[in-house]
């Protein structure tokens, strides 16, 4: 049998491998190498990717790992059977969990106790045998062989690698001698690090990064040739022509290594059920119990749907999963934590009945098959939205507590991308920090998608194309881009397991305390059938939760479940694009669409939420949808059979479910095939897969008498969906939260704004903008006061709330508690009493005084500053010296602009007017944001203000959208790609801008099309936070 490669590393060995697992497997397929073992350094990070790629390309992926030992030697081990895999995972977990992230070494005793089911190789130059020989210790080399044989009796192979290096034959002779002496079989490997010779450059660059060198100084640390690539069996046979047994041993060993990831042994945890119940019957009982609450009367349609879903769930054996998620939701409710399922789970009436989701799928006619079908592989995906931060963390920790050793977060693979790639490769090539800093400055502030090509970007950063190293830089960046850089943790994905999770996949510590992470990302988990529950933190959930609490406390409660979905004033507000602070509809793009789309029903709002997505934008769905909805265009269908499917979206394909129904009804796709189609859309990393599905769909559509034109349009819609679009159920779930936020802003504005501030950071706008918006809605936003403020923002009347003490920068949490505690005991009598009883430090005193928080005790900010100044004199000669005088009378009141500056310095916001109001007289030619409506379309004007948003969406062909805030509101400007590139630094580096351009008015939406941009320089205008992104 032919040679197979049993020792390769991919880039998942982080700086020790220079190709992706897919590239390596593909190279094996091209070279007729039937199997490959990816032995990543201290992990099985690439195992799933290699397994999946191998399945697709006909290459067997063998699981192995390079185990780092306590003496820094590296022992490659290959997995023989399931026991071996379990042992390997446990061994790696043990080493990792006692070490900091990214570190870990096993002891020889641990290796011995986990050796069953594993086969060891003696390793390459880092292996224990060659390391000993190389340091001139032949006895140590012998001892290493003995040790390996003792640990892996009969399962050690003497690894030989021939890389055409001088004197490797001498070392090889020693290894062969040892093998003969100890009866070890010889095994040829190529110690593969990259898939093709050209990627040796990446390996060199990674070596430099690992060693902290540049290519100029790395010298002989780099490889001396490019032989560590995938080689064909014939090449390897020629290389080892004198040792054919070493080649044959590879296939013999591969046959012996029967383990594959298909026998991973993963099982979802069994859910405990009451005696006499099965999980299925328990789920049925709970579902019907919940359905009675949800539907009050369970009609035939509801019963039919529930029975159908329960039957499918039962046949697929997923009942335990539903119960586990229900259990988490129950915990949340017990703790008063808002929870709501998002995503395709909202297509399930069972989920709705169990209280996991909040959208009635029957009422909304949602497609259950989008969520679950018998033909579909893998587990259903239920994502739960939770209030962000502490509340979510408490749920995560509860899951760890309920599933000890059986739960962990999924990983998130951070790849080389963006400007950091250039920075790291630039360093390797010896480019100066100045140049790299300049590049970073130019392309900072949001990683905008670029319209100028990479070479032009380099030129702008001062890296000439003629520079002798520029070509290398470009080549390296291109090769390195999208290779894994390091492993992070997924924002909320948790996997659960019936037995020990470290029998399934190694665990390691996360950077966050009390969190463990598995080595695979969510896609890997999905591929392996590992069930993941996403516990996602949503700032708006936190805000809504707090709003409801505040309303309840103030005696005007709102029941989220009973909130009327047809409140006209709420929709009026949305139609006015009065949406600052609202969930999903507050962005500039949403604001530009709201007055045109004019949502009047809950479903309209779901459409509104779904419309501003890259998918519909790229698919040119927005314009027809708006025009048809407002009856400016007739509703037409590409094919009459599409009418029932697309009726609710005016003939436009907007949701994933619609696409699946088109495939099922016009192309006769089965539910399983439709699901495969959905997965091909989701899997951006596999273009081939998507192309195949597109061809299949095209063929079936044409077979079913669909016209070529309609087929092309459907396929175009499919193509744009690959660029993200929502499932209808997801849009409806989000629309629920969006509506709730809008309703609360309309009817409980004061509580809502207070809660929004307390949920920061979240959303699109900084607190300063939210406060200004609140003021524009007639709310009196009161400043911090040590006598009245709570920790967070607190409501004081139906039209007023007060900023909380926690908003004050520099005031420690312990000081906030001390102030509240002291005040609860008895009111502060004087400033002196306050300082004495709260023990705030001088710096905090100054912050409190300058922000006006002590005005109630001192009269004015300056008097408070004057009176508290002595607090800093603890060790001073004058400490304790009392000087009674009336000098405070000499202090003049703080002018308004100074007050605003002090507010921004202390809280990054002001409760007073926007500072532009006061500096406007210095810029008389600037139009206010609320005056733009008076301007004629095409009129040339100037606007100016604090930049609160810089956005360059990938769908906008390089156009940049800027939002400038002034005392009257927010003015939006459109900057062409050319102007942006010309004034990139001015736009990205200045906190306030003056923009000159022409007014564009379209159906009530006003923009200024920028012609010139310059910095608005004024010391009295404090710098505001800007939300910059793409």
Q: Is 870 in the site for other proteins (CB under 8 A)?
A: yes
CB atoms within 10 A of CB 378: 14
- Specify the residue, 357 or 855, whose C-beta has the smaller distance to other proteins: 855
Residue 945: CB minimum distance to other proteins, A: 18
Residue 274: which residues within 8 A CB-CB, separation 6 or more? 282
Binding of other proteins at residue 862 (CB under 8 A)? yes
The correct pick among 892, 921, 924, 925 for binding other proteins (CB under 8 A) is: 892
The 8 Å CB, 24+ separation contacts for 922-925 are: 922/1018, 923/994, 923/1016
Neighbours of 251 (CB within 10 A): 17
Binding region for other proteins (CB under 8 A) out of 390-398, 601-609, 870-878, 961-969: 870-878
First CA to last CA across the chain, in angstroms? 53
Where does this chain touch other proteins (CB under 8 A) — which range of 153-161, 214-222, 640-648, 790-798?
Answer: 214-222
Pick from 153, 154, 212, 219: which binds other proteins (CB under 8 A)?
Answer: 219
Contact between 226 and other proteins by CB under 8 A: the answer reads: yes
- CB distance 837 to 828 below 8 Å: yes
Question: Site mask, other proteins, residues 814-843, x = CB under 8 A?
Answer: -----------------------------x
How many beta carbons lie within 10 A of that of residue 530, not counting itself?
Answer: 25
Residue 176 touching other proteins (CB under 8 A): no
Does 869 bind other proteins (CB under 8 A)? Our answer is yes
Would you list the DSSP string of 629-687? Answer: HTTSS----SSGGGHHHHGGGTT---SHHHHHHHHHHHS---HHHHHHHHHHHH-TT-H
Q: Which of 882, 921, 924, 925 binds other proteins (CB under 8 A)?
A: 882
**Min. distance of Cβ 30 from other proteins in angstroms?**
22
* Residue 225 near other proteins by CB under 8 A: yes
Segment interacting with other proteins (CB under 8 A) among 291-299, 342-350, 554-562, 876-884: 876-884
- Which string of DSSP letters, residue by residue, matches 98-119? TS-TT---B-HHHHHHT-TTEE
Dist CA 436 CA 108 (whole Å) = 44
Smallest gap from residue 384 Cβ to other proteins (A): 40
Selected binder of other proteins within 215, 310, 408, 605 (CB under 8 A): 215
Cα distance between residue 643 and residue 652, in whole Å? 10
| Interface residue with other proteins, options 712, 833, 872, 931 (CB under 8 A) | 872
Shortest distance, CB of residue 450 to other proteins, whole angstroms?
Answer: 17
| Residue 881 near other proteins by CB under 8 A | yes
By the rule CB under 8 A, 985 interacts with other proteins: yes
Which span sits near other proteins by CB under 8 A: 325-333, 557-565, 691-699, 890-898?
Answer: 890-898
- Taking a C-beta distance cutoff of 8 angstroms, is the pair 254, 4 a contact? yes
The answer to whether 922 and 1021 are in contact (CB under 8 A) is: no
Among 401, 826, 878, 924, binds other proteins (CB under 8 A): 878
Which residues ranging from 842 to 861 are in contact with other proteins (CB under 8 A)?
843, 846, 849-850, 861
| Interacting positions 105-164 with other proteins (CB under 8 A) | 133-134, 136, 162, 164
CA angle 249, 251, 252 (to 5 degrees): 60
With tokens 């009451």, the residue in question is 274
Which residues within the stretch 424-463 sit at the binding site for other proteins (CB under 8 A)? 433, 437-438, 441-442
Query: Is 316 or 435 the residue whose CB approaches other proteins more closely?
Result: 435
Q: How far is the CB of 148 from other proteins (least distance, A)?
A: 22
In the complex with other proteins, the residue whose CB is nearer, 1 or 869, is 869
Question: Binding other proteins by CB under 8 A: which of 468, 634, 921, 924?
Answer: 468
Q: From the CB of 962, what's the least distance to other proteins, in Å?
A: 15
Q: Does position 169 bind other proteins by CB under 8 A?
A: yes
In the complex, what is the shortest distance from the CB of residue 469 to other proteins, in angstroms, rounded to a whole number?
8
Rounded to the nearest whole angstrom, what is the least distance from the CB of residue 170 to other proteins in the complex?
A: 5
Q: Tell me the closest approach of the beta carbon of residue 93 to other proteins, in angstroms.
A: 38
Judge residue 263's burial from the number of C-beta atoms within 10 Å of its C-beta, 0-12 exposed, 13-18 middle, 19 or more buried. Answer: exposed
Instruction: Give min distance, CB of 7 to other proteins, in A.
Output: 20
Q: Which of 22, 23, 40, 227 binds other proteins (CB under 8 A)?
A: 227
The tokens describing 148, both together, are: 């390996």
Q: How many chain residues touch other proteins (CB under 8 A)?
A: 64
The pattern of x and - marking residues 472 through 491 that bind other proteins according to CB under 8 A reads: x-------------------
Tokens for 373, please give them.
């079908």
Q: Which residues from 989-1008 bind other proteins, rule CB under 8 A? A: 989-990
**268-307 footprint of other proteins as x/- string (CB under 8 A):** ----------------------------------------
Q: What is the separation of C-alpha 425 from the centre of its chain, rounded to a whole number of angstroms?
A: 25
Does 230 interact with other proteins (rule: CB under 8 A)? no
Bridge partner list, 341 = 384
Cβ-proximal residues to 338 (8 Å cutoff; 6+ apart), any chain? 332, 386, 387, 541, 544, 545, 560
Yes or no: say if 117 and 83 are a contact pair by the CB < 8 Å rule. yes
For 712-741, give one letter per residue: b (16+ CB within 10 A) or e.
ebbeebbebbbbebbbbbbbbbbbbbbbbb
Q: Round to whole Å and give the CA distance between 491 and 228.
A: 37
Considering only residues 540 to 569 of the shown chain, the ones binding other proteins according to CB under 8 A are none
Q: How far apart are CA 827 and CA 832, in angstroms?
A: 13
Q: How buried is residue 921: exposed, middle or buried, by Cβ count under 10 Å (0-12/13-18/19+)?
A: exposed
CB closer to other proteins, 606 vs 849: 849
User: Whats the size of the chain, residue-wise?
Assistant: 1030
Inter-residue contact 742 to 578 (CB < 8 Å) = no
Q: Which is nearer to other proteins, 598 or 901 (CB)?
A: 901
Among 153, 890, 921, 925, binds other proteins (CB under 8 A): 890
For other proteins, give the closer residue by CB, 6 or 848: 848
Per-residue H/E/C for 685-723: CCHHHHHHHHHHHHHHHHHCCCCHHHHHHHHHHHHHHCC
Q: Does 809 bind other proteins (CB under 8 A)?
A: no
Return the residue of 435, 455, 891, 939 that touches other proteins, per CB under 8 A: 891
Is position 879 an interface residue for other proteins (rule: CB under 8 A)? yes
> Nearer Cβ to other proteins, position 228 or 928?
228
3-state secondary structure 751-812: HHHHHHHHCCCCCCCCHHHHHHHHHHCCCEEECCCCCCCCCCCEEEECCEEECCHHHCCCCC
- For the CB of residue 464, give the shortest distance to other proteins in the complex, in Å: 16
Q: Please report, for residues 255, 803, 805, the alpha-carbon distance to residue 788 in angstroms, rounded to integers and kept in the order given.
A: 76, 10, 10
Which residues, at least 6 apart from 571, have a Cβ–Cβ distance to it below 8 Å?
599, 600, 601, 604, 605
Residue 423's H or E segment, with its range, is helix 418-428
- The CA distance from 727 to 623, in Å, is 20
- The answer to whether 885 contacts other proteins (rule: CB under 8 A) is yes
Q: Which is nearer to other proteins, 459 or 472 (CB)?
A: 472
Q: Which of 331, 603, 637, 866 binds other proteins (CB under 8 A)?
A: 866
Residue ranges that bind other proteins, judged by CB under 8 A: 133-134, 136, 162, 164-167, 169-170, 201, 204, 215, 217, 219-220, 222, 224-227, 433, 437-438, 441-442, 468, 472, 843, 846, 849-850, 861-862, 865-866, 869-870, 872-873, 876-879, 881-883, 885, 887, 890-892, 894-895, 898, 902, 983, 985-986, 988-990, 1015, 1017
């Amino acid at each position: 049998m032919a040679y197979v490669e049993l020792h390769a590393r991919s880039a998942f060995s982080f700086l020790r491998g220079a190709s992706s697992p897919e590239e390596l497997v593909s190279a094996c397929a091209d070279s007729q190498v039937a199997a490959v073992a990816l032995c990543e350094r201290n992990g099985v990070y690439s195992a799933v990717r290699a397994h999946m790629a191998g399945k697709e390309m006909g290459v067997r992926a063998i699981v192995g790992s390079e185990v780092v030992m306590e003496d820094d030697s590296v022992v490659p081990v290959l997995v023989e059977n399931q026991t071996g895999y379990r042992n390997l995972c446990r061994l790696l977990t043990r080493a990792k969990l006692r070490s900091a992230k990214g570190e870990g070494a096993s002891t020889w005793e641990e290796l011995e106790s986990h050796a069953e089911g594993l086969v060891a190789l003696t390793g390459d130059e880092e292996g224990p045998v060659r390391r000993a020989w190389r340091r001139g210790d032949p006895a140590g080399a012998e001892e290493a062989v003995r040790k390996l044989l003792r640990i892996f009796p009969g399962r050690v192979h003497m690894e030989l690698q021939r890389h055409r290096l001088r004197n490797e034959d001498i070392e090889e002779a020693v290894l062969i001698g040892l093998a003969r002496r100890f009866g070890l079989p010889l095994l040829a490997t190529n110690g593969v690090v990259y898939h093709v010779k050209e990627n040796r450059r990446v390996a060199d660059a990674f070596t430099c990064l690992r060693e902290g060198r540049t290519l100029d100084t790395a010298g002989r640390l780099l490889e001396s040739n490019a032989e560590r690539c995938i080689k064909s069996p014939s090449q390897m046979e020629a290389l080892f022509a004198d040792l054919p047994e070493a080649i044959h041993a590879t296939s013999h060993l591969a046959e012996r290594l029967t383990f594959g990831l298909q026998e991973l042994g993963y099982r979802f945890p069994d859910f405990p059920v009451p005696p006499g119940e099965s999980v299925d019957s328990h789920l049925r009982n709970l579902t019907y119990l919940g359905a009675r609450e949800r539907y009050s009367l369970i009609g035939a349609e509801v019963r039919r749907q529930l029975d159908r879903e329960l039957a499918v769930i039962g046949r697929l054996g997923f009942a335990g999963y539903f119960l586990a998620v229900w259990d988490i939701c129950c915990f949340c409710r017990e703790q008063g934590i808002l929870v709501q399922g998002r995503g395709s789970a909202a297509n399930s009436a069972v989920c709705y009945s169990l209280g996991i989701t909040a959208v009635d799928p029957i009422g909304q006619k949602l497609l259950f098959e989008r969520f679950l079908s018998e033909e579909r592989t893998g587990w259903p995906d239920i994502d739960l939205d939770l209030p962000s931060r502490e509340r979510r963390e408490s749920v995560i920790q509860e899951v760890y507590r309920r599933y000890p050793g059986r739960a962990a977060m999924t990983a998130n693979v951070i790849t080389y991308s963006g400007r950091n790639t250039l920075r790291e490769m630039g360093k390797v090539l010896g480019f100066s920090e100045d140049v790299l800093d300049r590049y970073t400055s130019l392309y900072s502030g949001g990683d905008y998608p670029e319209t100028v090509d990479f070479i032009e970007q380099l030129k702008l950063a001062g890296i000439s194309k003629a520079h002798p190293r520029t070509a290398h830089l470009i080549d390296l960046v291109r090769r390195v881009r999208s290779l894994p850089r390091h492993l992070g943790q997924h924002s909320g994905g948790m996997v659960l397991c019936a037995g020990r999770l470290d029998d399934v996949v190694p665990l390691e510590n996360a950077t966050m305390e009390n969190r463990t992470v598995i080595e695979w990302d969510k896609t890997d988990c999905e591929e392996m059938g590992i069930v993941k529950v996403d516990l996602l933190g949503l700032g708006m959930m936190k805000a809504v939760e707090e709003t409801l609490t505040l309303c309840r406390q103030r005696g005007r409660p709102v029941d989220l479940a009973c909130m009327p979905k047809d409140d006209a004033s709420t929709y009026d507000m949305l139609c006015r694009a009065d949406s600052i602070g609202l969930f999903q509809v507050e962005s500039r793009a949403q604001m530009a669409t709201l007055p045109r789309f004019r949502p009047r029903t809950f479903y309209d709002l779901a459409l509104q939420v779904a419309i501003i997505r890259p998918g519909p934008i790229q698919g040119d769905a927005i314009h027809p949808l708006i025009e048809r909805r407002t009856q400016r265009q007739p509703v037409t269908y590409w094919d009459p059979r599409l009418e029932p499917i697309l009726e609710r979206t005016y003939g436009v394909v907007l949701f994933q479910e619609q696409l699946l129904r088109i495939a099922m009804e016009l192309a006769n796709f089965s539910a399983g095939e439709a699901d495969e189609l959905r997965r091909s859309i989701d899997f951006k990393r596999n273009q081939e897969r998507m192309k195949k599905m597109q061809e299949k769909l095209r063929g079936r559509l044409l077979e079913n008498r669909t016209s070529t034109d309609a087929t092309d349009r459907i396929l175009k819609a499919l193509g744009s969906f690959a660029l993200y679009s929502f499932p209808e159920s997801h849009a409806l779930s989000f629309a629920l939260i969006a509506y709730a936020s809008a309703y609360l802003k309309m009817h409980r504005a004061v509580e809502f704004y207070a809660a929004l501030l307390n949920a920061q950071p979240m959303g699109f706008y900084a607190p300063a903008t939210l406060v200004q918006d609140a003021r524009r809605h007639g709310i009196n936003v009161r400043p911090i006061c040590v006598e009245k403020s709570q920790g967070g923002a607190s409501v004081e009347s139906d039209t007023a709330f007060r900023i909380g003490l926690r908003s004050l920068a520099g005031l420690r949490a312990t000081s906030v508690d001390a102030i509240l505690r002291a005040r609860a005991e008895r009111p502060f009598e004087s400033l002196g009493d306050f300082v004495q009883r709260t023990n705030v430090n001088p710096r905090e005193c100054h912050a409190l005084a300058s922000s006006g928080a002590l005005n109630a005790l001192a009269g004015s900010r300056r008097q408070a500053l004057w009176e508290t100044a002595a607090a800093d004199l603890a060790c001073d000669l004058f400490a304790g010296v009392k000087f009674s005088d009336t000098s405070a009378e000499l202090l003049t009141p703080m002018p308004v602009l100074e007050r605003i500056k002090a507010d921004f310095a202390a809280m990054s916001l002001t409760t007073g007017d926007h500072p532009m109001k006061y500096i406007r007289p210095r810029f008389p030619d600037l139009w206010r944001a609320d005056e733009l409506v008076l301007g004629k379309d095409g009129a040339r004007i100037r606007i100016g203000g604090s930049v609160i948003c810089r956005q360059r969406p990938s769908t906008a062909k390089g156009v940049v959208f800027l939002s400038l805030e002034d005392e009257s509101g927010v003015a939006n400007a459109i900057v062409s790609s050319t102007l942006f590139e010309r004034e990139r630094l001015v736009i990205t580096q200045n906190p306030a801008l003056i923009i000159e351009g022409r007014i564009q008015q379209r159906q009530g939406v006003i923009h200024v099309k920028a012609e010139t941009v310059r910095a608005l320089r004024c010391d009295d205008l404090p710098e505001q936070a800007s939300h910059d992104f793409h």
